[in-house]
Amino acid sequence: MDIDRLYGLALEAASSSYSPYSKFRVGAALLCASGKVYTGANVENRSFGLTVCAERSAISAAVSAGERDFEGIVVATPDASYPVSPCGACRQVLSEFLGPEAPVAFGASRGGVVRSTMGELFPHDALHDLKGSS
């Protein structure tokens, strides 16, 4: 997975961020097994709890387009001086589609791009097994 290329796409996506309340732009670039990349930006709401993070925007765009298999995701937070990792809600949602080995990378205006994995960010994901039951 070309993290530098995906970071560029995530950064570009951050420019579409709708974040009048936090003024904190976030962009995400999600690589599909098909080779396609779907991007997302954070979309805030005046009812703050309804805000959708960039990672979940990207997942929604890709899944809505019929994608189901993903390689990894890269997140850009250009308004932060240090790399900001996906929030807890996003880790849960990403874990629905990304296995423990999948790369998750995040970078900001400084500090370089941190390379992590889904398993590092969301360990002990036992509920994932629900998918196989019923």
Q: Which residues are catalytic?
A: 55
Q: What is the DSSP letter of 80?
A: S
> Which residue from 10, 13, 73, 90 is in contact with ligand THU, where contact means CB under 6 A?
90
> Which residue from 6, 14, 32, 54 is in contact with ligand THU, where contact means CB under 6 A?
54
Q: Near ligand THU by CB under 6 A, which window of 4-12, 19-27, 115-123, 124-132?
A: 19-27
Pairing of strands 70-77, 103-108: parallel
- Cross-strand bridge partners of residue 38: 30
| Phi, psi of 109, deg, nearest 5 | -70, -20
9 token code pair: 């796409």
Q: Does 22 bind ligand THU (CB under 6 A)?
A: yes
Instruction: Output 50 or 130, the one with its CB closest to ligand THU.
Output: 50
